[in-house]
Structure 1
Amino acid sequence: MSGKANISESLAKGLAILDLFGVEDAGFTLSEIAARVGISKTSAHRYVTTYCEQDYLARDPRSGLYRLGVRTLALAQSMIETSELVRGLRPFVDEAAARHGIHIDVALLSRDAVYLVYRRDSADTRVFRSFSYASSLHYLAAGKAAMAFMEPRALAGIMSRLQLTAKTDRTITDKAVLEAELAEARELGYAKNNEESLPGLIAIGAPLFSLRTGEVVGAVSFDSSTATYSMQELERLFAGYLVELAKKISAVVSL
């Protein structure tokens, strides 16, 4: 029996609904949920009603928007507190954040997306809505860092599926330009996000590798507001520290 035959399509659709809420916290209407997941409104209603009854989602009675419920938030907190992976990387990230006063994100790669597994905010980035997961890698320093260091066949596959949607007026929307930037990232050892995900937010990201297979498994990024550092200052002051931190975290994610 193939792996496909063993997959629960109903469960996969239900999980796809929860995935929506990792990208935006503004909430979704029932129609938006149905359209984004590719199911009927009737099916979407059954899913979200079940989630609401179990407190994984909550519906705002005034706006009708669905948002993450307390049970989902509790699961996220539990993951942060008990995950062996997070316990391993946390000391390195916390020490770097305390030493440099910089915002740090650690994200792992899964298929065509990166998922945040640990974050340390800084005073100047708390006003920004930072990512918790991104299914398009081209507008994040972490995403571009992961792409730049993939083996060629894997990168070609992602590039063929990637929709270069603009998040800001600085987001790269031309594949040739993106390929040139990924080539530059390979030379530098890190990738850049110059206000491509949010206006006023810049970042540099370095890849995380599995020490067993040599494959890229994620990325770590240093983020700043443009009010604190320019991109040139961020690179000059922190690129070396970022690359060293990536090496330490790679050892942890390889365990």
Structure 2
Amino acid sequence: MSGKANISESLAKGLAILDLFGVEDAGFTLSEIAARVGISKTSAHRYVTTYCEQDYLARDARSGLYRLGVRTLALAQSMIETSELVRGLRPFVDEAAARHGIHIDVALLSRDAVYLVYRRDSADTRVFRSFSYASSLHYLAAGKAAMAFMEPRALAEIMSRLTLAAKTDRTITDKAVLEAELAEAREVGYAKNNEESLPGLIAIGAPLFSLRTGKVVGAVSFDSSTATYSMQELERLFAGYLVELAKKISAVVSL
């Protein structure tokens, strides 16, 4: 029997609802949840009512929007505090953040998305609503770094599914342009986000590899406000340090 046959479709849809709340923190109406997950409003109501009853979601009484509940937040905090992966990479990230005074994100790849597993922010980036989960990879330095170093077949599959939705007026929305930028990233060892996810926020990202399989498993990025550094300055000052940090973290994620 295939693994697909053993999957609970109902549970998968329920988890897809929770996934929505990592993309945006503004909250969703019941109709928005149903539309984005692709289920009926009646089904969505059953799911969110259950989540609210168990405190995994909460409904704002004034706006009517659903947001993450305290039990979901507690699970995330528990993962940060107890994960062997986070314990292993934290010293490297914390040391780099303290030395360079730069915002650092570590994200792991899962299917067509990257998930944030550890962050050290900086004073100049705290005003931005940075990602915790991204449903698309093309507007993040971490996402593009992961894409650039995928095996050709895996990259082709993702590119065939990718919808290049614009997050800002600088987001790449042309596949040929994206492919050219990924090729450049492979040459220099890192990818760029030039205000493509949020106006005023720039980043460079380097891939993380499993040393056992040689496959890309995620990325680490250095982020900055454009008020602090230009893209050229960010690359000149930090690209070398970023690539070295990626090598150290790759050793940790391979354990």
- Settle same-fold status: TM greater than 0.5: yes
CA distance in 2, matches of 1:41, 1:176: 38
Residue 62 of structure 1 and its aligned partner are, at CA, apart by: 1.1
- Aligned residue pairs: how many? 255
Q: Report Cα offsets for 1:221-242 as digits up to 9, x if no partner.
A: 0000000000000000000000
TM-score scaled to structure 2, two decimals? 1.00
Quote how far apart the aligned CAs of 1:181 are.
Answer: 0.3
Separation in 2, partners of 1:127, 1:34 = 31
Misfit runs of 4+, over 2 Å: none
Instruction: Give the CA deviation at 1:2.
Output: 1.4
Determine the C-alpha separation between the residues in 2 that align with 1:95 and 1:137: 27
Shift of residue 5 of structure 1? Answer: 1.1
Distance in 2, Cα, partners of 1:178 & 1:15: 30
Deviation at 1:220, TM superposition (A): 0.1
Supply the distance in 2 between the matched residues of 1:148 and 1:128 (Cα, whole angstroms): 26
CA distance in 2, matches of 1:10, 1:175: 34
State the partner residue of 1:205.
205
- Unaligned 5+ segments in structure 1 are none
SS at match of 1:12: helix
Q: TM-score, normalised by structure 1?
A: 1.00
Q: Secondary structure at the match of 1:78?
A: helix
Q: What whole-Å deviation, never above 9, does each CA across 1:28-87 have from its counterpart, x for those lacking one?
A: 000000000000111000000000010000001111100000110010000000000000
Structure 1 residue matching 2:116: 3-state secondary structure:
strand
Q: Deviations over 1:85-107 (max 9, x none)?
A: 00000000000000000000000
Distance in 1 (alpha carbons) for counterparts of 2:164 and 2:54: 36
**Match status 1:68 vs 2:76:** no
Secondary structure of 2:22's counterpart equals coil
Q: Does 1:235 align with 2:235?
A: yes
Can you give the 5+ residue segments of structure 2 that lack an aligned partner in the other structure?
Answer: none
CA distance in 2, matches of 1:7, 1:177: 37
- Please report how far the alpha carbon of residue 135 of structure 1 lies from its aligned counterpart in structure 2 after TM superposition: 1.5
Q: Deviations over 1:166-196 (max 9, x none)?
A: 0000000000000000000001000000000
CA distance in 1 between partners of 2:36 and 2:135 (Å): 13
What is the distance in 1 between the residues matched to 2:248 and 2:231?
Answer: 24
Instruction: Give the secondary structure class of the aligned counterpart of 1:144.
Output: helix
Equivalent position of 1:37 in the other structure: 37
Question: Counterparts of 2:199 and 2:83 in 1: how far apart (Å)?
Answer: 33
The one-character-per-residue Cα deviations of 1:186-212 (angstroms, maximum 9, x if unpaired) are 010000000000000000000000000
Deviation at 1:4, TM superposition (A): 1.2
The percentage of aligned residue pairs carrying the same residue is: 98
1:134 alignment counterpart: 134
Distance 1:10 1:154 in 2: 28
Cα-to-partner distance string for 1:96-119 (whole Å, 9 max, x where unaligned): 000000000000001111000000
Residue 12 of structure 1 corresponds to which residue in structure 2?
12
Q: Following the alignment from structure 2 to structure 1, what is the Cα–Cα distance between the partners of residues 74 and 120?
A: 19
Q: For residue 243 of structure 2, give the secondary structure of its aligned residue in structure 1.
A: helix
Whole-angstrom CA distance in 1 between matches of 2:126 and 2:95 = 19
- Matched residue SS, 1:171: coil
How far did 1:133 drift?
Answer: 0.8
1:132-174 superposed Cα distances (whole Å, 9 cap, x missing partner): 0111100000000000000100000000000000000000000
Structure 2: distance between partners of 1:184 and 1:5: 41
